[in-house]
Amino acid sequence: MKKDKSLLFPLLVFALLFWACNPTELPDEMVDTPDFYLQGRMDAQPLKLEAGKQGYYMYTRFGRDSLQVYTFESELATCEACPEGMKIVIRDQQVSQAGSSVSLSQSLPVGSYAFRQRPREGENFYRVSFFSEVNESHATAPLSYSWDFGDGSVSTEQNPVHTFSSLDSAYEVCLLATDGQGNSSNICNELNLSLDHCIAQFHHRLRPEYGNYVEFRSEAQGLQPIRYLWEFGDGAVATLNNPGYYYSDDRLYTACLTVIDEHGCISRMCKNVATEPDMLETNFTYSIEALAVPPRDSLGLAQVSIQWTDASGKVFRSDAHAQPDEAHFNLLAVEAYQDNELGQQTARLQVRFSCRLFAGNETLELEDMVGFIGVAYP
């Protein structure tokens, strides 16, 4: 790359660069108190990188990705394309239009930042609306709800909305409802995300005037004709689309409907069926919507990734896998810095972090890393 693109500030101990290589060496007397450095431990061994010492310089750049999110990049390395160096990429707090400027206080606020995981090829997203069905008229208030979406996320809303990734085609979703007297019941169902698949859904109604008689009504979706298999929870089955059934005991049963459509798509849903009206009966239905654009939480806003390239050129990344619970990244202070020689704004960030880096089956542990890094921003 052309040498005239190097971002060198006189009288400083570092080089700020936008897409640049081969910075000019700094005089020895200028590197006693570097403005930019990182120090801590790597795999329990001391690690210290200082701009202006041992050939290291601070390179910065900013970019804007396909999700319209600015990235603020900092790299301590011997040259931009050389091995052995550390790169830190911080993502903006918001989506921005092309060519727009950013505010340091809004885009890089002091605080904790989550570690980003790389977007996965072929990943789509679905917004699922859940609708609880609890016989509230027979429950003692207040009712509480506890949802487990099967992907590590939970909710206590009555009718939550949750976004799922398509990389797992099915999730087991569970709902637990508890009334004011501590009575509870729960139900779990497998959620299939493919919209062109069938969905087994049904409603039921107890007819106490006829004893323990329950009417079942299918609301299954799929390509007709649809075949039905009902399991009433006591060993009995039926193949009608809207059957009725007499239960022998007053208790809570789990009835399930399995449907098979013309394309062979199979879907199953189970519900609690209370033959005693005073029993707490917990169920849910849902609707699925494919998202044309990624949800906000998949944009990686206010997230960070860290990369280490060793002397052999092997790259270790924080975003290859999930981080351990003790991993953290804290932005402690932000101050505006003087423009680089290309007229781009720069900032000096005080950071503290610990994380795990991955390269295939190998890992590196960065512990108690502290220091100051530089970034450029629009």
Query: pLDDT tens digits for 303-347?
Result: 999 999 998 999 999 988 889 999 999 999 999 998 877 778 999
Ranges of residues in the chain with a pLDDT under 70 are 1-33, 80-81, 118-123, 167, 195-196, 292-298
In the prediction, which pLDDT does 139 show?
74
Domain boundary among 290, 315, 337: 290
Q: Into how many domains does the chain fold? A: 2
* The pLDDT of residue 293: 60
The pLDDT of residue 227 is: 94
Mapping DSSP onto H, E and C, the string for the chain reads CCHHHCCECCCCCCECCCCCCCCCCCCHHHCCCCCCEEEEEECCEEEEEECCCCCCEEEEEEEECCCCEEEEEEEEECCCCCCCEEEEEEEEEEECCCCCCCCHHHHCCCEECEECCCCCCCCCEEEEEEEEEECHHHCCCCCEEEEECCCCCEECCCCCEEEEECCCCEEEEEEEEECCCCCEEEEEEEEECCCCCCECCEEEEEEHHHCCEEEEEECCECCCCCEEEEECCCCCEECCCCCEEECCCCCEEEEEEEEECCCCCEEEEEEEEECCCCCCCEEEEEEEEECCCCCHHHCCCCEEEEEEECCCCCEEEHHHCCCCCCCEEEEEEEEEECCCCCCCEEEEEEEEEEEEEEECCEEEEEEEEEEEEEEEEC
363 inside domain:
yes
What does the pLDDT read at residue 360?
87
Same domain flag for 280 and 132: yes
277 plus 197 within the same structural domain: yes
Tell me, yes or no, whether 152 and 278 share the same domain: yes
Residue 295: inside a domain: no
337 within some domain: yes
**pTM, to two decimals:** 0.52
CATH number at residue 145: 2.60.40.10
* Residue 210 shares a structural domain with residue 245: yes
Q: What is the pLDDT of residue 24?
A: 33
Q: Return the pLDDT at 19.
A: 37
Q: What pLDDT, on a 0 to 100 scale, did the predictor assign at position 55?
A: 84
* Domain termination site, one of 290, 319, 334: 290
Domain that holds residue 338: 3-116+300-377
Tell me, yes or no, whether 157 and 244 share the same domain.
yes
